[in-house]
Amino acid sequence: MARVMLAWLILLGSVSAVRAADPLSEARRLYNAGQFPAAERLAREAMMVPSLADAARVVLGRVLLERFRATANSEDLRTARQTLIAVNPQTLDSRDRVELMIGLGETLYLEDRFGAAAEVFESVLDRSTQLGPAAHERVLDWWGTALDRETQLRPAEDRPRVYERLLGRMRQELSDDPSSAAATYWLAAAARGTGDLELAWQASTAGWVRAVLSQDRGAALRADLDRLVTQAIIPERAARLAGREARQVQTGMVNEWELLKQTWSK
């Protein structure tokens, strides 16, 4: 009878452990699905289980960051920061450590600490692949955006060197995954940042064509490329010329870009 009772207690403990893990797993799933209120509720529930508390704080912290992005309520950003700082990384597995670093990078970015955020994102670029293609794509875009914002604060003569760094990484990313929307956009933007407007133009053209490989068939990427080309690359290229020649070049590039869009759009 004692052995039967012991076995029953062990079984109950196993079932309880499985149930205890459910809120955390579901919180992660809901966060990745963009269902942030439900993810927050389950993350807080998972925090009540000591063995899950730190991993649950990672999820909760990132949920609060998403809330801040939607509301601009500084209290959400403060609470998110405190939640992530409270995490003991020694209790996390390798995946959750990457998630924590991403959350810390996002926090720095949302505090307008762009240079520090870029450094944090870059430190987990390679390891973010273990979270899946979508997560890696988001980290890549966060890094590119943070580096671009930080570079705009530097003296003009320092910027090309930083954009060369961005350009090199995006070439590597596209070699590994030609469907990467983040790498496609930032390749063109970084080429412009180095001053190579011809490369920026060609990269934008190739990016428009290659956009159909991305998850949404290129809708978001093409909108971003269109803004980059029409608001920056074409005017800046024309500005290098003078008088009538500048106007002719700008008109010609606009016409060529519009023809490309018509020809390569469904």
- The answer to whether residue 266 is domain-embedded is yes
Query: What token pair was written down for 210?
Result: 């290659």
Residue 56 contacts residue 88 (beta carbons within 8 Å): no
Query: What token pair was written down for 72?
Result: 């601009």
> pLDDT tens digits for 133-146?
999 999 999 999 99
Co-location of 199 and 219 in the same domain: yes
- The answer to whether residue 250 is domain-embedded is yes
Q: What does the pLDDT average to over 118-136? A: 94
- The answer to whether residue 13 is domain-embedded is no
- The answer on pLDDT for 213 being more than 70 is yes
Q: What does the pLDDT average to over 118-128? A: 96
Question: Of the candidates 110, 139, 154, which is a domain's last residue?
Answer: 154
Question: Of the candidates 89, 112, 137, which is a domain's last residue?
Answer: 89
Co-location of 139 and 187 in the same domain: no
- The answer to whether residue 110 is domain-embedded is yes
- The answer on pLDDT for 127 being more than 90 is yes
State residue 246's pLDDT score: 78
> pLDDT tens digits for 25-83?
999 999 988 899 999 999 999 999 999 999 999 999 999 999 999 999 999 999 999 99
Co-location of 126 and 148 in the same domain: yes
62: domain range? 27-89
> pLDDT tens digits for 215-247?
788 889 999 999 999 999 999 988 887 667 778
State residue 40's pLDDT score: 94
- The answer to whether residue 225 is domain-embedded is yes
Domain count within the chain:
3
- The answer on pLDDT for 97 being more than 90 is yes
Q: How confident is the model at residue 199 (pLDDT cuts 50, 70, 90)?
A: very high
State residue 182's pLDDT score: 96
Look up tokens 């509720």; give the residue: 41
| Sequence-ordered list of residues with C-beta below 8 angstroms from that of 67, at least 6 positions apart, any chain | 36, 40, 73, 76, 80
- The answer on pLDDT for 9 being more than 60 is no
* pTM for the structure as a whole: 0.86
Query: How far apart are alpha carbons 71 and 61 in whole angstroms?
Result: 15
Question: Of the candidates 67, 89, 111, which is a domain's last residue?
Answer: 89
State residue 238's pLDDT score: 86
Query: How far apart are alpha carbons 25 and 198 in whole angstroms?
Result: 48
